[in-house]
Structures are given as C-alpha cells and as structure tokens.
A and B are shown apart, each in its own frame.
Chain A
Amino acid sequence: MGINRRSFFKAVGATGAAVALGREGKAKDINTNDVEFKAVLYDSTRCVGCQTCEFSCAEANNLPEPEDYPEEGIVRKTNENCRTVINMYETTKGPVYVKRQCMHCNEPACAAACLTQAMKKTESGPVIWRDDKCMGCRYCMISCPFDMPRFEYNSANPNVTKCTMCFDRQKEGKIPACVENCPAEALMFGTRRELIAEAKKRIVENPDLYYNHIYGETEAGGTSFLYLSPVPFEEIGFKTNIQHSSYPALTKSFLYSVPSVFVLVPSLLLGINEAAKSNLKKNENHD
C-alpha cells in the first residue's frame, strides 16, 4: 500500500510538471521579434490577365514557360512546374481574373505538419521548403487547406514545390518577381499591416467597385497573400469554408495531452499491476 501511495504522489507531481512544461514550450508566438511579416496585396479589379506574373515566376525559378492561358470555365492549377496561375471567371460583374499561389499563412498548417521543419515559416513571412530536411512524406500536402504544396512524383529525388514569395530575392533586397513585373499594378508588396490598411482604404474610397472583404485577413488565421475582389469570393473560385482561425490550433489539444498521458498511463498501469499481484497472492493463501 505504501508503495502505491508513494507512486501516486510521484505521478501527481510529475504530471503537474509535465503539463506546465508542455504548455510553456508550445505557447510561444511565432512572431516574437520586431520583424513584421511581409505580404502581397492582389487587386483583381486591376488585373488584366496578361500572365506576366506567370512568365516572370517561371523565369525567376528556372521553370518552363506556361503554354496555356486563362479561359473561362477552365480552372488551371499550380503544379510542380508552375507555382502561380491566372484563371478567368465570368461573374455577375463581368469577367474577373484571379491569380493563385501559396497563401503564406501566418500560422501555416504545412509547417506545423512537417516533422523535420523542412516547411518553415520564416521570420519575415514567406513559407519556404528546405531540401536537406524533407523526407518526402507529403503530410504538408494533406494538411494545407489551400492544396498548395506540390510534389514531383516522377523524380527519383523529388522536391516539394510551391511559391516561396521569392524568399531568395527578398534576401537580396529585391521584391517578388511577379510583383516587380506586373504591368497593371495589380500586385503590391509591403508589410502585412500596411497592405491591410491599403486594402481597406481602397474599399472605403471605392465601395461600388469592391466587395467588402479582404480575403486572407482572417482566413486560416490570416495569410500573407491578401485579395481584393469586385464580387463575393465564391464567384471567383475561392474556398469559403476555410476556417477563420489557425489550422495548427486544431492539433494543439492532442499534443498537449501527450505529456500527461505519458505520466498518467504508466502510473495507472503500475497501480493495476500491484493490485493484480496482491490479488494473486491472496488467492494462493486461500488455496
């Protein structure tokens, strides 16, 4: 009995410590320093569908040039050789062009999913992928709510590819290739805070032109690609069932329970084992 009580107190103490430590470790904010997330604002009312962004993206990333073009009724998708696409939708306000690429979430599901941190949210905002860490499990693809990471299925040494917001160019002090080359000024690069203010300003100044919503301000807990549209976003092919809080938060309660299970279950099992043993002894005595 004495042993049981002692192991019980030990278990209680250890559980408390584990729970406290577990919480402390995980509750850290990604953006603790003063660097603000960089972002891109895409204004579909200005986009003319010229595909310059697609061509400059292909050039910047050494990918083949696109051979198809935006057409109504056809939804083009990014793939391992193409990191951004322009699609055309016929809407209640006429034809609207939409650029799609990785959204660069504030709290990306892909990075939370990655067991080697190959997918990584950088301090300045872009979500990047690192070749030397990835094991190719494709759990990032399972988790991404926007279906953006792409996999080179026909390669013996496959990479996961997606828009990196031209992270390497940004390190050299340049802006993303698509933004730099957009002739219609539909794309704008800046800090996320500035761009949300800019987007709000445009909506307020031109309420008839814009649908009153910035896609990406709260979707998936906030993204670094922000969208303005003349029509509701479901008309231009956006998923509107995206939740407005972070995706990694969905696994938090499970991950938090791990340290407590690790302490509670073994002590419970030891307790049962002691009880079973003493029961066996009692039975032997009766015989």
Chain B
Amino acid sequence: MTSPAYSVQKEKENQFSLRFIINELKPKGKWLTPFNIISLPIMLLGAVLVVIRFINGIGAVSNVNQEIPWGLWKGFNVVTGVAFAGGAYVLTFIVYVMKVDKFKSIIRVTVLNGFLAYIFYAGALVLDLGKPWNIFNPIIGNNFGANSVLFLVSWHFLLYIIAQLIEFSPAVAEWLGTRRAHRILSGMTLGAVIFGITLSTLHQSGLGALFLMAKEKIHPLWYSEFIPLLFLVSSVFAGLSMVIFEGSISDRVFADQISSDDKKVRKSILPILSKICAFAMFTYLFLHVLVFVHGHRWSYINTPMGYWFLTEILGFILLPMILFIISFRRNSIILTRIAAILTIIGIIINRLNVSIIAFRWDAAVHYTPSWMEIVVSLAIIFTEIWIFRWVINRMPVLRDSPSWAKNAH
C-alpha cells in the first residue's frame, strides 16, 4: 500500500498544500477486495434507505412503535457502540496518566477507533431523531433541559468528541507535516486526556442512567438503580475486548504498517489486557451478584427471561472471564481472542437487553428490527471502517511517527 517511492515524495512535499490533500483523497491500492465487494452494495443500499427515511418518516424503514420507541439504531449503534469505544479512555489512562510506555504502540489506533465510533454513532442518532435540525437546541439553549440525563449525555458526547480529536490531532499534524501545530497540539494531550476520561466515566454511566426512569418497563432482572455503575464497569472490558479484536484484524490487514518491534510489543501486551479484562469482569459479576441477592430475584430465574439472563451472565461474562484468566496464564493468544469475541457478543446482548429486548418485554406488540434498519446499521459501521482504513493508510497511526516528530518529544 505505502510504497517507498511514495514516502520519499511525501518527505519532499511535507507541507500543507491543496495538491497534497487532493492526492491523499484518492483511493490507494487494490479496489476489488472481498471486504469492498461486500460492504459497497450495503453502503449504497443504506444511503438509499436513509433518503427514504427522510422523505417518508422513520416509520417507512423502521419497525419502532409507540411502546418501544428506541430500536436498533439507538440500542445497537449508539448504546452498544459507545461501550466498545470505551477502550480509548482506558488506554489513554494507562499511557498518558500512568505513563506506561508499553501501550504507546496501540494508543493512536484506539483513540482513532473511539473518535470514529463517536462520530458515526452521533450519525446514527441523527437518523433516528424525528427533527434532527433541532439537534443543537440543548447546546444553544433552546432550552437547556438541565434536569435531563440525556442533556448531560449529549453535552458529554460533544465535548468528548472534541477531546478525542485533540488527542488524535498530533497524528494529523505529522501527516500534514505541520511542525508548529504538532508541537502545540502535543502539548494539549494530557489536558485532553484527563478531561476525556472524566467525560467518559460520566457518559458511559449516563447511558445506563437514561433507563433509570423506565423502572417498571424494563424486566426486573435488568433494571436496578445500579445500571449506571454496571454500564461504566462493563465499558472497561467491552472497550478492551474491542481493542484486542481490532488488533487481531489490524495485525493482518495492516501488517505492512507495523514495524517488527511493534509487532513484538503488540503480542506482549495481550496478556496484560487479558488480565485487566478479567479483573473488570470479576468486579462486574460481583456487582451483578450483589444486585441479584439484594433484589431477591430468585423467583424470576425459572422463566424464559430468567434463562436468557443466565445465558448472558454465565455464557458471555463468566465464561470469557475464565478464558481470559487461562489465556494469560498459558500466554495463549488464541484464547485471548476467543474470550474477547465472546465478551463483545455478551456486551451486545446486554446493551440490547436493557434498551430493546427486556424493555417492555410484556408489550403486546414486540419489536424486531426490519431488514432495512439492519442494512442501515451495517452501512454505518462499514462507512466507519472505510474511513478508518483511509486514515490508517495515510497517517502515522500504526506505523512510526516521522523522525522530526519523535525528536520533539
């Protein structure tokens, strides 16, 4: 993808010029990869469906109804997606606050992932809003609904996107070759990180707090006053599992970008990530047991919803936790990856349970997403991956920074 001739040319230009930008916007490498062949038609179909949605209303493409007003776009793309973006705040804490240099090789890609996730999940939100042209009302003060959890979450969303942009901006400066900007932006990193972690703790838990008022509407096995805390703790291992999963793919797809030193480091940090995941999952399970016993919930277990709850907790929290523990003891990369995938599935199940499946589980008309909603959801994710790939192939995210940027540190 990045030929040596190309990098020489870049060194030569090395400055902010329009021609350079236009050149970079052009696609590189092969076009007809299997991923492109699958994702392109879905993205095009998704774009058509989005047009239909804006002409004929949400009901034209989505199955959401009067009793279950939040469907796949909010439950999956927003509520679930944000949990997976949690890796960014955990890793920025480890690298910039605790100064553990070992994780530096994956920090940029994780922040980029988090940043894109937020941008695209905000995009999914816009599709789902009935009147998206009013989206800035809570920001500009028409009006400030300061009693609302969603008001808090929306502000934090916006501020966190800015914080992540600042955290990632040195990579953009290195790509454009703007040294002065690089120095200024690098100096802002620690501030942005501390601000970002604070915002993350509040809106990861805030997404759970959204459901606090739906007390009787969520099945008692999933509703408790601890939802905010459960959401926050689970975002730690959800985010790290995503980091492990994304790493296992990037290792292969972007192998030419990663230096051989970094390849070794990327392997050696897997057991540490597994350990953190296992610890966080233990805390999460412990909280669940506490809520379960405290709420006298035995009577719900022997019901279909009870079995579903046990599947989530035992199959997709306890099992991957054990696998994580075994994986770092045996130093097995395969086991780590299996555990990460199981955890990811578990988090998807959990977030969908709270926001969709256990929400009005007793409703007469049940919600199942339409094929059109699923296509749009996938189209959003594929577009995100396209942008991700575009950035990775151009900016020093996985590959080493140019030498001038390194010396500046």
**Interface, chain A (partner B; CB < 8 A):** 25-26, 77, 79-80, 109, 111-117, 132-139, 141-143, 145, 147, 150-158, 160, 239, 241-243, 247-248, 250-251, 253-255, 258, 261-262, 265-266, 269-270, 272-273, 276-277, 279-280
Query: What are 11 A-B contacts with C-beta separation under 8 Å?
Result: A112-B213, A139-B150, A250-B212, A251-B213, A254-B149, A254-B209, A254-B212, A255-B149, A265-B197, A273-B98, A280-B99
Q: Nearest Cβ in chain B — how far from A250, in angstroms? A: 5
Q: What's the Cα separation between A153 and B144 when bound, in Å?
A: 26
B211 touches A258 (CB 8 A): no
B210 touches A139 (CB 8 A): yes
**Interface, chain B (partner A; CB < 8 A):** 54-60, 62, 64-67, 69-70, 93, 96-99, 125, 128-132, 134-135, 137-138, 142-152, 154, 190, 194-195, 197-198, 201-202, 205-206, 209-217, 225, 228, 359
Q: What's the Cα separation between A286 and B97 when bound, in Å?
A: 22
A136 touches B215 (CB 8 A): no
Q: Which residues of B contact A251 (CB under 8 A)?
A: 149, 209, 212-213
B214 touches A112 (CB 8 A): no
Q: Name the residue of chain A whose CB is nearest to the CB of B125.
A: A137
Q: What's the Cα separation between A79 and B365 when bound, in Å?
A: 14
What is the count of residue pairs linking A and B with beta-carbon distances less than 8 angstroms? 172
Q: Name the residue of chain B whose CB is nearest to the CB of A157.
A: B131
Q: Which residues of B contact A142 (CB under 8 A)?
A: 69-70, 210-211, 213-214, 217, 359
Q: What's the Cα separation between A121 and B154 when bound, in Å?
A: 22
A154's partner among B56, B97, B205 (CB-CB below 8 A) is: B56
A116 touches B216 (CB 8 A): no
Q: Name the residue of chain A whose CB is nearest to the CB of B93.
A: A269
Q: What's the Cα separation between A157 and B54 when bound, in Å?
A: 9
Q: Which residues of B contact A138 (CB under 8 A)?
A: 69-70, 130
Known: A116-B143, A154-B59, A261-B202. 8 other contacts (CB 8 A): A115-B148, A135-B138, A139-B210, A151-B130, A154-B60, A251-B212, A261-B201, A270-B194
Q: What's the Cα separation between A112 and B146 when bound, in Å?
A: 9
Q: What's the Cα separation between A77 and B217 when bound, in Å?
A: 17
Q: What's the Cα separation between A79 and B97 when bound, in Å?
A: 52
A134 touches B131 (CB 8 A): yes
Known A112-B147, A133-B142, A139-B148: A153·B58 in contact at CB below 8 Å:
yes
